[in-house]
Chain A
Amino acid sequence: MITWLTTTNHKRIGILYMATTGVFFVIAGLLALVMRLQLAQPHETLVSPSAFNQLFTLHGTAMIFLVIAPFGFGLANYLIPLQIGAPDMAFPRLNALGVWLFILSGLVVFSGAFAAGGAAFAGWTAFAPLSGIQISTGAGEDLWIIGLLLNAIATITVAINFITTILLYRAPGMTMWRMPIFTWEMLATALMILMAFPALAAVLFELLIDRHYGGHFFDPAQGGNVVLYQHLFWFFGHPEVYVMILPYFGVVSEIIAVFSGKPIFGYVGLVLSAFAIAGLSMSVWAHHMFTTGVVANAFFSAMSFLIAVPTGVKFWNWIGTMWGGRIRLTTPMLFIIGFLLNFLIGGITGVMIASPPIDYHAEDSYFIVAHMHYVLGGGSLFAVLGAVYFWWPKMFGVKLSETLGKWNFWTMFVAFNVVFLPMHFMGLEGMPRRVYTYAATGDLPWLNLVSTIGALLMALSVMLFILNVILSSVSSMRVVAGRPRLPDDPWGGANSLEWATSCPPPEFNFEALPPIRSERPTWDLAHPEMTGG
């Protein structure tokens, strides 16, 4: 136990990150379930308006800052040194500081629930002056701000560590152009973090100064500027979306190649598209502000459309990887196929709302809620689950049950679409987001009821996942002695270096490194006949 508290080992820190995100995911998911129950029918009174506003604020904040993004950091912490043949991260103690700051940030944000006046209720975007001291009077908002400041610092330490490790700690033979796609995507992610998160820290500090030290940055009565808040927030906020998706593009690329029995198709294109997305992500923020009437809509619209091109390249290359392969429909692969099917919808609606004439109707409606959940839930979250099933045997030396895993996938896939597909139509019918009630008109009552039923099924699916984890933990403890260890490459056909060491790997990762002569050294090792010995 004490060794986990004091560890500086990247694998343990990675597992600490991922396990913490699991806990926050369950909490944030339960918050969402309460919201869906409140919205199951019009004029429901399960929770008060004030409680509902706190629910969606904490749900959004937790899923973004405490689940989807940091799971990627945890996975990368675990995988990057293994994938590049390094013994650990470049700055192990900074790494430990980062994970504990991250855990603390979550506790501080949630502690707002116990403050007088309740938790923050201004939404995860906390637009000023709504988040100002005149309206958000309680300490909940302060705890939210301080929690996210800690989170921003933790995230910046992560990015510094990733960049340094990737650039300087690669094993002999591991040139940049032989790095796995996941490592490449994390390099692009880390660069975006370094550009975007200082803006978040700045806007949070300004908000704090406004609230307690008479700053007036965002107080219109004192010459402050409410649009400045939106600019600063979204200058962080949109790259943040890609911080939450690029790691999972990496996950998809790794898993899809292994279970198609082929090398990743279009390696160079995948790498370039990651950096194209990272670059474009810095110039699209004001597409969140089309309806403000004070930004250059045409410019931000054009830049946003362009992101569809590198994203399309990724789809093209993933399909090219499956093409002519031998596709094994294991649980991780099923989740990745789920990612492709769901994320395509989120991507396409993303192109739609990048058009101001469409956004004039869709903005801040349930259409947006549907869009972002198809990207971050149907996309990122499916890749999270795929990653857990895929790398679990590497981390813990035992596979999760494939039978339960497939039940987990199918229930999750159906539930996800039952919850979120109807939300597109709610938005088109005129239902704004962040409302605790709605009128019993049109199709809204039955659409909302269907969505809530889907949410209950999704809760069941998450329980199947937890059951799977518990059963595998029990079985791994029971058979420490006597059972043959898993082979280094339990799935077969693996490409990257983490599959060329034991499950789980020794403390400093490798007893001996195989020769690295291509971007798939583990596959080369298993197929000497293909590489000319």
Chain B
Amino acid sequence: MPILEPASLQAEGLRGVWVIFFATAMVVAAFVYALIFYSLLRWRDRGQSEAPAQFKQNPPLEIIGVIVPLLIVIGLFYVTYTREVANDALHANPYATVDVKAFRWSWTFSYPGHSISITGTPQAPPELVLPVNKLTQINLYSSDIDHSFWIPAFLFKRDALPGFPNHFDLTPNKIGVYAGNCSEFCGLDHALMTFTVRVVPVTDFERWIARHGEPIEPRASARQNAAIVGWSSGALAPQNAALVSW
């Protein structure tokens, strides 16, 4: 699961938020479930003759019931806010820049200044090539309607909206092939609007750029890696006979 093995620098930060929230959730859920089940076991009607005490309030306890959740969400907001600011900040001088354009139902990845432009189709999804451990800035556009650019292994998505370009940083830090897809429903073949992300060593990336983006053959090591992590690879889908999705 991508939550367990994030594949980018930013995703490691985002994963920290998941971990804190998940731990808090477990504690809160365990506490509330314990109270519910204790009540059910302790006070289940077993034909007792005495009527239960008819109390209807306990102001100190009720105030605690407001303050404790308030403190919890203030803490969670602090975690959220600091990570969000760090994640959404754009850094100057990215190593690479990619313009991503979404359309029904595929993507165009172009590398400004290098005359590389890769356009996919629902049947043959495109591949986004990124250098490992280097900061890439993504400029995200849509040429028709709302889409969303999601790479589960990076724990990140951003909407591609006509008229509202988006910009964000990605620093993949694990070599491999990862699945990506459109996550904003966009009509008939939304399900096939997938792509792959190939994270390669910087030298390979430079060579690929120099060769004007000739497709990189899937190498044994990348395939193996994809097979091990499972979620990160595309499998051969009968109807589109190409690398598909998550």
Contacts and interface: CB of A to CB of B under 8 A. Distances in A.
Interface of A: 42-43, 49-50, 53, 121-123, 127, 129-130, 135, 220, 225-227, 260-269, 291-294, 297-298, 301-302, 305-306, 308-309, 312-313, 315-317, 319-320, 322-329, 337, 340-341, 344-345, 348-349, 351-352, 355-358, 360-361, 363-365, 425, 428-444, 530
B115 interface: no
Interface of B: 1-3, 13-14, 17-18, 21-22, 25, 28-29, 32-33, 35-36, 39-40, 43-45, 48, 51-58, 61-62, 65-66, 68-70, 72-73, 76-77, 79-81, 83-84, 87-88, 144-146, 148, 150, 152-153, 155-159, 161-164, 166, 168, 179, 181-192, 230-231, 233-235, 237-239, 244-246
Nearest to A440: B235
A129 B45 CA distance: 57
Nearest to B244: A439
Contact of B52 (A297, A317, A325, A428): A325
Given A226-B162, A428-B152, A442-B230, 5 more contacts: A220-B163, A308-B73, A432-B181, A434-B185, A439-B246
24 contacts: A49-B188, A121-B187, A127-B185, A263-B56, A266-B56, A266-B57, A291-B158, A308-B73, A309-B70, A312-B66, A313-B66, A322-B39, A326-B45, A326-B51, A351-B21, A352-B25, A355-B21, A355-B84, A360-B14, A360-B156, A360-B157, A432-B191, A435-B191, A444-B246
B239 A43 contact: yes
Contact of A297 (B54, B61, B84): B84
Most-contacted residue by chain B among A262, A340, A425 (CB, 10 A) = A262
Given A225-B163, A355-B17, A363 B45 contact: no
Contact of B235 (A220, A344, A358, A439): A439
B77 A319 contact: no
A123 B157 CA distance: 20
Nearest to A56: B185
A363 B163 contact: no
B52 A326 contact: yes
Most-contacted residue by chain B among A225, A305, A441 (CB, 10 A) = A441
B233 A135 contact: no
Contacts of A267: 56-57
A430 B179 contact: yes
Contacts of A122: 185, 187
A441 B240 CA distance: 15
Contacts of B148: 291, 363-364
B17 A49 contact: no
Contact of B44 (A293, A329, A360, A439): A329
Most-contacted residue by chain A among B58, B81, B183, B190 (CB, 10 A) = B183
A49 B191 contact: yes
B145 A226 contact: yes
A360 B153 CA distance: 12
B246 A344 contact: no
B69 A429 contact: no
Nearest to A426: B246
**Pairs A-B, 4 closest by C-beta atoms:** A430-B152, A430-B246, A316-B65, A435-B191
A337 B57 contact: no
Given A322-B39, A324-B55, A425-B1, A430 B181 contact: yes
A12 B157 CA distance: 49
Nearest to B179: A430
A267 to B, nearest CB: 6
Nearest to A364: B183
Contacts of B70: 309
A53 B80 contact: no
B189 to A, nearest CB: 6
B145 A130 contact: yes
Given A324-B55, A425-B1, A348 B28 contact: yes
B77 A345 contact: no
Nearest to A435: B191
A320 B58 contact: yes
Given A226-B162, A297-B84, A437 B28 contact: no
Contacts of B157: 291, 360-361, 363-364
A530 B54 contact: yes
A530 B55 CA distance: 12
B217 to A, nearest CB: 21
Contact of A262 (B55, B150, B231): B55
B55 A129 contact: no
A352 to B, nearest CB: 5
A182 B192 CA distance: 46
Contacts of B163: 220, 225-227
Most-contacted residue by chain A among B69, B156, B234, B237 (CB, 10 A) = B69
A357 B87 contact: yes
A9 to B, nearest CB: 34
A136 B22 CA distance: 40
Given A341-B36, A361-B156, A439-B245, A129 B144 contact: yes
A352 B21 contact: yes
A345 B45 contact: no
A364 B153 CA distance: 15
Contact of B237 (A43, A360, A435, A530): A43
B66 A357 contact: no
A312 B83 contact: no
A324 B52 contact: yes
A127 B185 CA distance: 9
Contacts of B13: 357
A442 B73 CA distance: 34
Contacts of A329: 40, 44-45
A220 B36 contact: no
Given A438-B246, A441-B234, A226 B161 contact: yes
Given A226-B145, A291-B159, A441-B233, A356 B84 contact: yes
Given A341-B33, A429-B246, A530-B54, A53 B188 contact: yes
B225 to A, nearest CB: 13
B183 A365 contact: yes
A82 to B, nearest CB: 22
B17 to A, nearest CB: 4
B189 A312 contact: no
A432 B183 contact: yes
A123 B99 CA distance: 29
A351 B168 CA distance: 25
A73 B63 CA distance: 32
B36 A319 contact: yes
Contacts of A441: 179, 230-231, 233-235, 245-246
Contacts of A442: 1, 230-231, 246
B145 A357 contact: no
A309 B67 CA distance: 8
Contacts of A225: 163
A467 to B, nearest CB: 27
A99 to B, nearest CB: 32
Given A325-B52, A361-B156, A439-B237, A315 B32 contact: yes
Contacts of B158: 291, 293, 360
